[in-house]
Amino acid sequence: MMRRNNPFEDVEELFERLSRQFDEMGHQFDRSGMMPSPRMYDMAVDVSEYDDRLVLSADLPGYEKDDISLSIANQTLTIEAKRDVTEEHGEGEYLRRERRQQSARRTIRLPEMVDEENASASYRNGVLTVTLPKMDVTPDDSHRIDID
């Protein structure tokens, strides 16, 4: 059994799951034509931990590099992607053009402190790869507290 360091991880995981379920409900309304809102899609994310870094891979097919934004604060990485999609359908003399916005967003709580200044990212073939060097925290960095 895996032991968690943060007692709020279960709550955060629950909120992420609820958010994904609400997004899926929105997709069902979109497919039925009942709700013409911007579409939000889930993105598959893998987080790998190595001795000196965390590496996150996220699937974002169909987006351009400029459509994607990353931010990190308080041990939390946020990935957002937005794009405009235009579809044209020609039938005889008629042309139907549909425009919509497609977006994806994930917030990932990182298991360790990372060096935000030296983080890097690349985007190739629909896969975003984020490399986050771990903070080097050693016992020598501790501060002694005197007891009165």
pLDDT (tens, 9 = 90+) of the chain, 148 residues, equals: 445 566 666 777 777 777 777 766 665 554 444 443 444 456 889 999 999 999 999 999 989 999 999 999 888 999 999 988 777 777 777 777 777 788 889 999 998 899 999 999 999 999 999 999 998 766 555 666 677 5
Q: And the tokens for 7?
A: 């007692």
pLDDT of residue 58: 94
Residue 15 forms part of a structural domain: no
Q: And the tokens for 115?
A: 């060096």
Q: What are the backbone dihedrals phi and psi of residue 71, each rounded to the nearest 5 degrees, phi first?
A: -145, 155
Rounded Cα distance, 120 and 54, in Å: 11
Residue 60 forms part of a structural domain: yes
Residue 5 forms part of a structural domain: no
Going by the DSSP 8-state scheme, the letter that residue 139 receives in this structure is G
Residue 22 forms part of a structural domain: no
pLDDT of residue 122: 95
pLDDT of residue 37: 40
pLDDT of residue 29: 53
pLDDT of residue 50: 93
CA triple 36-41-43, angle to 5 deg: 175
Residue 50 forms part of a structural domain: yes
Cβ atoms 19, 43 nearer than 8 A:
no
Q: Which residue type, as a one-letter code, is found at position 67?
A: D
Residue 127 forms part of a structural domain: yes
Q: How many domains does the chain have?
A: 1
pLDDT of residue 55: 96
Residue 47 forms part of a structural domain: yes
Q: What is the CATH number of the domain that holds 61?
A: 2.60.40.790
Residue 109 forms part of a structural domain: yes
Looking up tokens 């968690």 gives 4
Domain that holds residue 114: 42-85+103-133
pLDDT of residue 96: 73
